[in-house]
Amino acid sequence: MSTVTVGKVVPNFRLPATGDQHIELKDLRGRNVVVYFYPKDSTPGCTTESCDFGTLQEKFRKKHTVILGVSRDSLASHEKFKAKFEFPFDLLSDADEKLCRLFDVIREKNMYGKKVLGIERSTFLIDTEGRLQREWRKVSVKGHAAEVLEAISTD
């Protein structure tokens, strides 16, 4: 399977999401979509990043932008994470890693001296026509959500 490329249309995807729903990219046409991949629910960096996106939700909304968080965690885990921190956006469960592989975010990591495959914190901005406008890889959490917001044009 090929991966996404800046400037090209992102292939449609459909994943289970919080709120007992499935979210499909094609249904979001006409709006910008921020897809941020994070390693694990309820861990410090992932919680901070998600809270930052949540804090800026209204500003994203004014720029006609939908925020979607994605990890390999289960829907049950996502529901708890979203409820605990009251995220105003949906979390998608990519347990089979299809979306992770499409966006090429699975990387070898070192955990306690053991090599494991996990999600590299990454964010992608898809425009109203479904084209990948920008990508951020190896994301540092601090200030990231604001940087993504700033990158969205209001044309």
Q: What 3-state DSSP class applies to 59?
A: helix
Q: How far is CA 23 from CA 52, 98, 128, 144, in A?
A: 22, 14, 16, 24
- Is 100 among the residues known to form the active site? no
What are the tokens at 82?
Answer: 């979203």
Which of the following is catalytic: 23, 34, 35, 46? 46
Candidates 155, 128, 48, 137; CA nearest to 100 is: 137
CB of 91 within 8 A of CB of 120? no
The catalytic residues are: 46
